[in-house]
Structure 1
Amino acid sequence: MSDGSRLAATIWLPKDAEENPVPAILEYIPYRKNDFTAIRDSIRHPYFAGHGYASIRVDIRGSGDSDGILVDEYLKQEQDDALEVLDWIGKQPWSTGSVGMIGKSWGGFSSLQVAARQHPALKTIITLCSTDDRYADDVHYKGGTLLSSDMLWWASTMFAYNARPQDPEVVGESWRDNWLDRLENTPPNVEEWVKHQRRDGYWKHGSICEDYSDVKIPVFAVSGWQDGYTNAVFRLLENLPNESKGLIGPWAHEYPEVATPEPAIGFLQEALRWWDQWLKGIDTGIMDEPKLTSWIQDSELPKVQYTERPGRWVADHAWPSTNVSGTSLWLADGKLMNGAKASGESTIPSVQEHGYYAGVFCPFGQPGDLPSDQRLENGKSVVFTSDPLQETVELLGHPVLNAELSSDQERALLAVRLSDKAPTGESTLISWGVLNLTHRNSHEHPEPLEPGEKYKVSIQLDALGQQLPAGHQLEVALSPTYWPQAWPSPKPVSLKLYQGEDTHLSLPVRTPHRDDDSCGNFENPETAQVIGKDIIREGERTRNLTHDLITNSWKLEDFSDEGERILHTNGLQHGSMNKNTYTIKGDDPLSARVNCEWELTIGRDEWQTKLKTFSEMTSDATCFYLTNTMTAFESDKEIFHKTWKKEIPRDFV
């Protein structure tokens, strides 16, 4: 880099690339290419190189074997470094000077952000499981509520990840001093994230939705219905250059060639068609295909994990699509009705443990990720149910709840669940949304509620692609609590919902199109040969919910052992374990508590290191309280221990 820092990269090249230069593909992420993502990288980077591309994997500044300390997500420094990497690629003898970027999650974010910087060498990107809006559609806040399921968990994850040491075989004897520097100066990002509880300049940075016109290159946006980032695909298609395309399958937060649930697809072949079109100028026919190809899921009974989601691929040649139109159902007297009822009201009380059966915010395809039968939640909320459907309906896009309501408190939220109720009674969650009611007019300028005053609000639920069979019913469930997804309001809240013209659910009903039958003809998955490994410890996942009947305390313990392995390519041994605990008392919103624990190991032969972290978040009526502790070991000897504590005022949350 221009400041003298060095970034670590692995580069896969076609054998004759120096004699016959090729375009390049860049993946730019902080997840440690030589150990943590080594297996993942081996699936696709050699594949691209074997098909005529230089495929480059870079650890961003402060991660893996790159120099520096990673102090936060998506900094301007990160983008500036990426521009220098693009400069460097263009100067190499094996490069034609044309580059594409690809990435999932952080890599998808960074590819969008770098695209907005308009480097002349960057011709296109493939962004997977990412977002264009860092405030409204990421792991920190949702609908202006603090996302307690993920805010601390993700911060604790990066707190531990960023403090891991460099590899002595790569950087030499400096590794230990560098490690101690990382341990001392790697911050708990949750402190900065909680400081910014409204949509201010901190979140606008890196959010390309601030000015979509900054992105002038074609974008291939990919996600899945179980991913936490599906909504962004629709916004990107609506706002980015016309050549951009979208793909949504049934998948969790993963690349589609290895994702669950089935059907997985030959995504690397699709990526090659995209690269060939935009980096080699070959007409692959991909631009003649639909703007959005999406998987409409068949109705299924609720399970916390699916290995397969039956359904069908459908084609939409524009977004918004002429195949989708809105239809409304009105909420009144416990029913979803085809017409508005003139008057009446429903009281919606607080039940603090409502939401424990929601599943995780962003499933990675692990057992237990998905929502349980929503009958377990319905008694803790107010439910409105439609008559049985007379014919099968397909939905594609965002449901929207419009409501007229009042609150008995100055601060309150409204959570909305949309479920598919089978004739046998099971209730499958198909979409949800939440709104901090002090953000009803703006995420930038929240306003307190006047108790008893009526307000009209609109809540956009997560996008879905879902079939609803004849005979099934729709359920809308409302509550002023949704723990542990949303941090509770400071006091128990009672809402009143006023039925009438202004309280209704809008549904995106899709009419089948003749082109549906000819779309989605994907090949079977292909990958490069995965690198070898020896398993030291198998992985394991448990999710246990307990209820103390005497104290009315609820506790969810989510434990994930990702196992431990030795890589054949470099002899590195690495493993990780994570436990997250969410507790609350049924009558006390101020009892909410999140604890996140990590243990990470990395080593080789006589060189062994271990990190243990503990993170905690609590609140009272006026402040959030954060505690983060890091302990590091070298060969089982403790070499570092530090605790960070922070008190941050609540800001309309």
Structure 2
Amino acid sequence: MVRSDADHVWHENQAVPPHKPGMYCQSRYLTMRDGIRIAVNLYLPTHRPAGARMPAIINQTRYYRAMELRQPARAAMRGKPFHHIPSTVACRRRFVGAGYAWVDVDVRGSGASFGHRVCEWSPDEIRDGAEVVDWIIRQPWSDGAVGALGSSYSGGAAELLLVNRHPAVRAVAPRFSPFDAYSDIAFPGGVRARWFTETWGRYNAALDRNAPWDAAGWWVRLFVTGVQPVDGDRDRSLRAQAIAAHDANYDIHRQAESLSFRDDVAPSDPYHRAGEEAPPLIGNPIDEAGSINLFSPHNYWRDVEASGAAVYSYSGWFDGAYAHSAIKRFHTVSTPVHRLILGPWSHGGGWHIEPFRAPAKSTFDHEGELLRFFDEHLGQRNSGLASEPRVRYFTMGEGRWKAASTWPPAATTRRFYLASGRMLTDAAPQDDRAADEYRVDVTAGTGEHSRWRTQVAIGEAVRYPERSGADRKLLTYTSAPLVSPLEVTGHPMVTLFVSSTADDANLFVYLEDVDTRGRIAYVTEGLLRAACRPISALPPPYRQDVPYRTFNRGDAKPLIAHEITELTFDLVPTSYLVRGGHRLRIAIAGADASHFAVADGTPPTLAVHRGRLHASHIDLPVVMPA
């Protein structure tokens, strides 16, 4: 039986065999078409019958396929690789125990692999994935079927592996990973995520110089020498050569700081330099403009779809904006079998997060769920997955898993207006004109354990402190107590009529739950850079239940000082039950200094209009009780 965090059974999983202990590892270099050597670890089950063939799972990582322990710990491990990402260890053990081969890869320009990095998921890196698959299917143990999975960077690598349209790759599970790199992680709502790029860049730079202790803490140096060398590299000379090549890796944060709009080109981008012949791209991108599109999975949806592989989009409600990534992927890529799961998780799925609850270690059987998916599509066994609904989501506050044939589930829209007395009401305003002024507090923030930090602080839980103190810096509107419970499932949409003393502004809107004791809990949020507000026609085949914006420089539109402007944008999707007697609150900010870039100069003063002519409001997707 597979159980969720809430101990709610949604299926009997008799097709997943019990774990059979025992695996052995081989490490080696594979030489790519251009002579670059890529380090791989191959894991095979020790219980494999002689001559038996099996499918393989490939996990391509930017964060070391394994680390090397110092003595005497290395001797105690008997030469076995040491892994610092527990979720990968658990998944590998489960799959190998179920009769799969597993291949971990240090992607080009990282770990013990040679080469250097010009961007994330570069065209050359994507091509490398196909050559690793070629090597896999030539092995005597291979049955010719390959799947790919991974979380975060590895999830993006799994998805982009399909750009090669390799016939052996039949299923992928991109977990907790971006679909649109611009709007999902680097510039949500067009607002620069400065903390993320700076912190992630510093972490990656430490790995690239083989000094993980510079990122994780000095004590790590007591136990590890850095990335695991390949078998036979006894004097570590090959590892040293590979690490030396990483000196040419690009600076992630500096490149991000050089960008502002989606179609901007970074000075260091070798694929878009004026007057130079660019290296060849790969696949069939929908848009070759801009540096960030180069490595954004959404730009290659046609190749992913044409691959014919099954896709499992997998994320959590508190995983930055990656819940929306999974949804956009699910809507856009019409593979033969595309599944979607959205749970009460932060990045990686290790923590169960809900408003008004302390974070708890997740008890969800992630490995079992993934094993069922790959069993179904790599020919191992019939797991019964095909007969189940394609969408599973967890409703927080209610503590229940639910199913649907698509996303979002059927809902009605309930509108709440911003009203006088800082109230939130379902009655439309009667006054022609009314507004509340708010001088932006540039010290406002959401703290050190928010949804926007979980992608780097992967082992830590998302925690939002009680919001009374934070809300004193914001402009808030609170409803009367709800007569009955209200389930918000889908994409809340906010419309604000705003005037400003500046020609641009960042708007943050928080949806909060105020309980009967007056405690305030964070539910979800949305953000928008006002200059990026123009809404564009949705290009085919995208299907979104939210406004579409290009975020291109040519489409930007500065504010005109003191002129009323309509801003309509979505909040990060959620599924949450607000209990009867609780009150809803909308909190409006002009900055989140904990995570996002704050404009220089005098903080602007905003006027949020709420009269009949400019009725600011929020639309909540409300699911009626079954």
CA distance in 2, matches of 1:466, 1:258: 14
CA distance in 2, matches of 1:380, 1:257: 29
Which residue type is aligned with residue 507 of structure 1?
L
The answer to whether the Cα contact below 8 Å between 1:221 and 1:246 also exists between their aligned partners in 2 is: yes
Report the Cα offset of residue 440 of structure 1: 0.9
Residue number in structure 2 paired with 1:25: 57
User: Partner residue of 1:296?
Assistant: 395
What's the CA shift string for 1:308-350, capped at 9, x where partnerless?
Answer: xx7111111212322x232211112211111321431111211
What are the residue-to-residue correspondences of 1:279-294 with 2, within 5 Å? 279-280=378-379, 282-294=381-393
AA paired with 2:124? Q
Partner residue in 1 for 2:581: 471
CA 1:485–1:34: 2 relative to 1, 3 Å: closer
Tell whether 2:413 aligns with 1:314: no
Rounded to whole Å, the distance in 2 between the matches of 1:261 and 1:180 is 38
The AA in structure 1 aligned to 2:202 is S
SS at match of 1:13: strand
- The corresponding residue for 1:494 is 605
Report the AA paired with residue 208 of structure 2: N
Which residue pairs with 1:156 in the alignment? 202
Q: Does 1:51 align with 2:51?
A: no
Deviation (angstroms), 1:257: 9.7
2:326 aligns to what? 233
User: What TM-score results when the alignment is normalised by the length of structure 2?
Assistant: 0.75
Aligned equivalent of 1:407: 500
Q: Give the whole-Å Cα distance in 2 for the aligned partners of 1:176 and 1:115.
A: 29
1:148 to partner: Cα distance: 2.4
Q: Secondary structure at the residue paired with 2:115?
A: coil
Q: How far did residue 416 of structure 1 move?
A: 0.8
What is the CA distance between 1:144 and its match in structure 2? 0.8
Aligned residues: 500
Note the alpha carbon deviations across 1:536-589, whole angstroms, 9 max, x for none.
xxxxxxxxxxxxxxxxxxxxxxxxxxxxxxxxxxxxxxxxxxxxxxxxxxxxxx
Q: Identify the residue that residue 571 of structure 1 maps to in structure 2.
A: none
Q: Aligned letter for 1:422?
A: D
Measured after TM superposition, the shift of residue 429 of structure 1 is 0.7
Work out whether 1:332 is the aligned partner of 2:419.
yes
2:134 — aligned with what? 87
Paired AA for residue 181 in structure 1: A
For 2:236 and 2:362, how far apart are their aligned partners in 1?
48
Give the structure 2 partner of residue 456 of structure 1: 566
CA apart distance, 1:183: 6.4
Q: Using a 3 Å threshold, how does the CA distance of structure 1 residues 86 and 257 change in structure 2: closer, same or farther?
A: farther
In the alignment, structure 1 residue 122 sits paired with structure 2 residue 210: no
Cα distance in 2 for partners of 1:111, 1:168 equals 24
Deviations for 1:614-642, whole angstroms, at most 9, x for unmatched residues?
xxxxxxxxxxxxxxxxxxxxxxxxxxxxx
Residue among 475, 483, 487 paired with 1:382: 475
**Gapped regions of structure 1 (runs ≥ 5):** 299-309, 514-653
- Map Cα deviations across residues 369-400 of structure 1 (whole Å, 9 max, x no partner): 42211111111111011111110111112211
Q: Contact 2:477/2:586 (CA < 8 Å) preserved in 1? A: yes
> Relative contact order (C-alpha < 8 Å, sep 6+): which is higher?
2
Q: CA deviation at 1:368?
A: 6.8
In structure 1, the partner of 2:376 is 277
SS of the aligned residue for 2:401 comes to: strand
Q: What secondary structure, in the 3-state scheme, does the structure 1 residue paired with 2:131 have? A: helix
Displacement of 1:136: 0.3
Match of 1:639 in 2: none
Structure with the bigger percentage of helix: 2
Aligned to 1:9: 40
Aligned partners of 2:39 and 2:230 also within 8 Å: no
Greater percentage in strand:
1
- Structure 2: which 5+ residue stretches go unaligned? 1-31, 68-81, 211-225, 264-289, 354-358, 535-549
Q: Is the 8 A contact 2:508 2:588 kept in 1?
A: yes
Cα displacement (A) at 1:175: 4.5
2:272 corresponds to which residue? Answer: none
For residues 166 and 477 of structure 1, do their structure 2 counterparts lie closer, same or farther at Cα, with a shift above 3 Å needed?
Answer: closer
Asked if 1 retains the 8 angstrom alpha-carbon contact of 2:491 and 2:570, the reply is: yes
Residues 116 and 190 from structure 1, CA distance in 2 versus in 1: closer, same or farther, beyond 3 angstroms?
same
Q: Which amino acid aligns with 2:569?
A: I
Q: Which whole-Å CA distance do the structure 1 matches of 2:293 and 2:568 have between them? A: 22
TM-score scaled by structure 1?
0.72
C-alpha distance in 2, partners of 1:70/1:394? 45
Instruction: Tell me if structure 2 keeps the 8 A contact 1:29–1:106.
Output: yes
Q: 1:123 Cα deviation (Å)?
A: 0.6
Q: Deviation of residue 240 (structure 1)?
A: 2.2
1:465–1:493: structure 2 CA closer, same or farther, 3 Å change rule?
Answer: same
Q: Secondary structure at the match of 2:591?
A: coil
Change (3 A) 1:350 1:231: same
C-alpha separation in 2, matches of 1:354 and 1:452: 23
Distance in 1 between residues matched to 2:409 and 2:243, nearest whole Å: 54
- Match for 1:427: what amino acid? I
User: Does the alignment pair 1:508 with 2:602?
Assistant: no
Q: Deviation of residue 18 (structure 1)?
A: 6.4
- Cα shift at 1:283: 2.8
Cα distance, 1:258 vs structure 2: 10
Change (3 A) 1:125 1:336: same
- Quote the residue 2:298 is aligned against: 209
Deviation at 1:94, TM superposition (A): 1.2
Match of 2:251 in 1: 188
- 1:437-468 CA-to-partner distances (Å, cap 9, x unmatched) read 11111411222211112211112111112110
RMSD (CA atoms): 2.4
Q: Which amino acid aligns with 1:152?
A: E
Q: 1:443 maps to which residue?
A: 551
Give the letter for the 1:26 counterpart: I
Q: State the distance in 1 between where 2:53 and 2:349 align.
A: 28
Q: In structure 2, do the counterparts of structure 1 residues 53 and 321 end up closer, same or farther at CA, with 3 Å as the change threshold?
A: same
> Once the two structures are superposed, what CA deviation does each residue of 1:195-246 show, in whole Å capped at 9, x if it has no partner?
1211122122232333533322221111122222222122222222262111
Letter of the 2:310 counterpart: P
